[in-house]
Amino acid sequence: YGLSHNLEIKDLHNAKPNDVSEMLGDLLEKSWNQEIDKAEKQNRKPKFVTALIKTFIGRYIYCGIGLLICIIL
């Protein structure tokens, strides 16, 4: 394969369940809906950045701690 054959669908592997964007999309949608509810209660506009931070901050903290440990060791 490569130069002598075209890439076909059968050549591709299925994505792992954790790699499917549906899971992240659902988490982001949940955070966004919570941000909308909170903004309505506080009489302000919802901020998409807040929903993004709530969705991904845990992953970044986890990676940051791992990176810090690697740097220290």
What pLDDT score does 2 carry?
64
Domain that holds residue 57: 9-72
Q: Is residue 62 part of a domain?
A: yes
d(CA 5, CA 31): 45
Mean pLDDT of the chain: 90
Domain count across the chain: 1
What pLDDT score does 23 carry?
82
pLDDT above 70 as % of the chain: 97
d(CA 49, CA 24): 15
Q: Is residue 67 part of a domain?
A: yes
- Between the two ends of the chain, the Cα-to-Cα distance in Å is 43
Is the Cβ–Cβ distance between 16 and 39 less than 8 Å? no
Instruction: State the average pLDDT over residues 6-26.
Output: 82
d(CA 24, CA 51): 12
Q: Is residue 4 part of a domain?
A: no
pLDDT score of 19 more than 80: no
What is the number of alpha carbons within 13 Å of residue 34 lying toward its C-beta? 13
- Record the pTM: 0.64
What pLDDT score does 72 carry?
92
